[in-house]
Amino acid sequence: MPDGPAAKAGLRGTETIRRHIVSLDKIAVKGPTHLQSLMEKYNVGDTVTVGILRDGQRQEIPVTLEAAL
């Protein structure tokens, strides 16, 4: 979503769970279902660190969670 927390934190729309998102708060993400189960322990307003691969480099990006629309 263009106005969503990920976009606000600087994540690009092309950075997908399967190929680019590799961790959440230092826990390796194995796929979309695993990411969803990890996210269930957080609340709106929490800030998580999303590990991504961008241009062959690993980056850690803080994302503050918002309510789903």
- Give the tens place of pLDDT for each residue, 7-65: 676 666 655 555 588 999 999 999 889 988 999 999 999 999 999 888 889 999 898 88
Write down the pTM of the prediction.
Answer: 0.72
CA distance 53 to 47: 19
CA distance 33 to 36: 5
Q: Which residues contact 20 (CB under 8 A, 6 or more apart)?
A: 14, 52, 53, 54
pLDDT at 56: 85
Domain segments of the chain as ranges: 5-64
Structurally, at CATH architecture level, domain 5-64 sits in Roll (2.30)
